């Protein structure tokens, strides 16, 4: 092999090695700063304390991650409650009912939803959806910042992810299964729900878990419309603070470089990283299994 070829190959190898370095960088940065955080705050307090108030005076400081996680899970739960039923229904419609023409039009239109910057969704949730809910249900005590509106809009944001990936999974189910079902006299509905969906279940699960992970890590929608009060609540009408929102709002203020407050953003980031990593690996594992079934 010529020397120049070797040089090119090592350059290309270095490029792909950079992705490993990125992961190593993320993990070491998070570990290093989180370790310094846990020198001051005990892990037990971090996991069990039900109050989060790092910016308070020293005697009243509390570092319990639970309120932030409650906010994160609340908005995520609302998003999933919107995206999963809608997404799967759309997927079934596109793969079993719609003509290929309809599919060709609807799929890209839905994918526009995924290309909209999340800051735009944040504006929409705050300036349109919250007032709309307040107007439609005057009895509801919905504060201007709440978990409900950003949760719903986040559901719309991840809708294309669920519908598109689920449709791929449904579409991949072999034709013979459909034909067998129709030959027995089953309707499209029966075929879809009793044959196709069970056959594609792991593929659908992959799409749901990926959407879940996306919702947990989503930042701007909740940073704009969900508020900034860390409370251990599961009431969607209240304002909440999510893990991502906390990071944005803390770096956006003035935080001294070496203060404990500065280190909190890394501890919160670490928690976020661990949760999403777990979810991503579950979906990866599921995907592997599911691909083996249809080989």
Partner 1 sequence: MAKKLGKRMRQKQVRKNKWYEYQDKSYKFIALAATGIGILVLVVLLWDVFSDGFSRIDLKFLMDSSSRKAKNAGIYAALGGTLWIMALTTLIAFPIGIGAGIYLEEYNTKGRMSNLLEINISNLAGIPSIIYGLLGLEIFSRTLMLGDTAITGALTLSLLILPIIIVSTREALKTVPYNLREASLALGATKWQTIWYQILPASIPGIVTGAILAISRAIGETAPLIVIGAATYITSVPSWPNESFTVLPIQIFYWIGKPQHDFQVNAAAAIIILLAITFIMNGAAVYLRYRWQKKIKW
| Residue 85: closest CA among 147, 152, 136 | 152
Whole-angstrom distance, CA of residue 106 vs CA of residue 94? 8
Residue 76: its H or E element: helix 66-92
Helix (H, G, I), strand (E, B) or coil at 269: helix
**Shortest Cβ distance from residue 32 to partner 1 (Å)?**
8
Q: Which two tokens stand for residue 72?
A: 């994160």
**Shortest Cβ distance from residue 60 to partner 1 (Å)?**
26
**Shortest Cβ distance from residue 201 to partner 1 (Å)?**
19
Please identify, using beta-carbon distances, which residue of 66 and 106 lies nearer to partner 1. 106
Whole-angstrom distance, CA of residue 228 vs CA of residue 221? 12
**Shortest Cβ distance from residue 149 to partner 1 (Å)?**
12
Whole-angstrom distance, CA of residue 18 vs CA of residue 31? 19
Angle between helices 148-171 and 100-115 (to 10 degrees): 140
Whole-angstrom distance, CA of residue 84 vs CA of residue 165? 12
Please identify, using beta-carbon distances, which residue of 52 and 121 lies nearer to partner 1. 121
Tell me if 144 sits within 8 A of 68, measured CB to CB.
Answer: no
**Shortest Cβ distance from residue 16 to partner 1 (Å)?**
4
Whole-angstrom distance, CA of residue 239 vs CA of residue 118? 19
Whole-angstrom distance, CA of residue 17 vs CA of residue 11? 10
Please identify, using beta-carbon distances, which residue of 2 and 175 lies nearer to partner 1. 2
**Shortest Cβ distance from residue 47 to partner 1 (Å)?**
20
**Shortest Cβ distance from residue 273 to partner 1 (Å)?**
6
Please identify, using beta-carbon distances, which residue of 18 and 47 lies nearer to partner 1. 18
**Shortest Cβ distance from residue 59 to partner 1 (Å)?**
29
Please identify, using beta-carbon distances, which residue of 60 and 257 lies nearer to partner 1. 257
Please identify, using beta-carbon distances, which residue of 77 and 93 lies nearer to partner 1. 93
Please identify, using beta-carbon distances, which residue of 51 and 113 lies nearer to partner 1. 113
Cα dihedral 151, 154, 158, 160 sign: positive
Task: Please state the length of the chain.
Answer: 295
Please identify, using beta-carbon distances, which residue of 17 and 48 lies nearer to partner 1. 17
Residue 14: its H or E element: helix 3-40
| Residue 248: closest CA among 276, 279, 278, 227 | 227
Helix (H, G, I), strand (E, B) or coil at 52: strand
């Amino acid at each position: 092999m010529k020397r120049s070829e070797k040089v090119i190959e090592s350059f290309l190898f270095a490029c792909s090695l950079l992705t490993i370095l990125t992961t190593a960088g993320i993990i070491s940065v998070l570990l290093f700063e989180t370790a310094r955080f846990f020198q001051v705050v005990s892990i037990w307090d971090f996991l069990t304390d039900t109050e989060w108030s790092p910016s308070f005076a020293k005697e009243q400081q509390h570092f319990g991650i639970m309120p932030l996680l409650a906010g994160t899970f609340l908005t995520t739960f609302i998003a999933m409650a919107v995206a999963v039923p809608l997404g799967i229904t759309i997927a079934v419609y596109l793969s079993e009912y719609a003509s290929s023409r309809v599919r060709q039009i609807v799929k890209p239109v839905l994918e526009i939803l995924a290309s909209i910057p999340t800051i735009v969704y944040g504006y929409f949730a705050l300036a349109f959806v919250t007032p709309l809910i307040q107007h439609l249900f005057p009895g509801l005590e919905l504060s201007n910042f709440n978990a409900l509106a950003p949760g719903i809009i986040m559901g719309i944001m991840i809708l294309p992810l669920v519908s598109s990936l689920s449709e791929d999974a449904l579409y991949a189910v072999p034709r013979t299964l459909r034909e067998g079902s129709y030959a027995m006299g089953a309707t499209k509905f029966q075929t879809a729900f009793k044959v196709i969906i069970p056959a594609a279940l792991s593929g659908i699960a992959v799409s749901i878990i990926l959407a879940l992970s996306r919702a947990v890590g989503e930042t701007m929608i909740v940073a704009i419309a969900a508020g900034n009060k860390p409370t251990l609540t599961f009431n969607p009408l209240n304002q909440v603070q999510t893990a991502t929102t906390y990071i944005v709002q803390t770096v956006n203020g003035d935080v001294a470089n070496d203060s404990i407050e500065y280190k909190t953003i890394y501890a919160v980031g670490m928690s976020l990283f661990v949760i999403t990593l777990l979810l991503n690996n579950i979906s990866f594992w599921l995907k592997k299994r599911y691909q083996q079934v249809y080989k």
